[in-house]
Amino acid sequence: GESVGLHLPTLSVQEGDNSIINCAYSNSASDYFIWYKQESGKGPQFIIDIRSNMDKRQGQRVTVLLNKTVKHLSLQIAATQPGDSAVYFCADSLWIDKLIFGTGTRLQVFP
């Protein structure tokens, strides 16, 4: 069945460094991928998304890379800030608009 997973449960980075959070997905038919950020006590918030016809998409300080050959997705955060500390989830979906989430990666930013 469909599944999306994350390689690292916790990532610690120094403030100002770049962060890379990785994700593997299993359904080669998935055509939409999305990253969410969840701060403590809050619901997930949209960060960035990408469709399967793209390899890279950039937002403000964030970049998502999609490698369909190895079914791998990554989120890059430039110049990581304390406010970036949160749990990050990747999710994928097929055309039916239903998102399947991974287990999440906790990003910790230290000074």
69-to-26, 58, 104 alpha-carbon distances in Å: 11, 20, 22
For another protein, give the closer residue by CB, 46 or 83: 46
Asked whether 89 and 107 are in contact (CB, 8 A), the reply is no
Q: Find the shortest distance in angstroms from Cβ 46 to another protein.
A: 5
46 lies in the binding site for another protein (CB under 8 A): yes
Distance linking the first and last C-alpha atoms of the chain:
41
Q: Does 11 bind another protein (CB under 8 A)?
A: no
Q: Footprint of another protein on residues 52-81 (CB under 8 A)?
A: none
CB atoms near residue 20 (< 10 Å): 13
Identify whether the C-beta of residue 107 lies closer than 8 Å to the C-beta of residue 84.
Answer: yes
Binding another protein by CB under 8 A: which of 30, 66, 85, 104?
104
Asked if residue 111 binds another protein (CB under 8 A), the reply is: no
Q: Could you say whether residue 103 binds another protein (CB under 8 A)?
A: yes
Residue 16 near residue 110 (C-beta atoms within 8 A): no
Q: Which is nearer to another protein, 3 or 14 (CB)?
A: 3
By CB under 8 A, name the binding residues for another protein.
Answer: 32, 34, 36, 41-46, 49, 89, 91, 93, 97-104
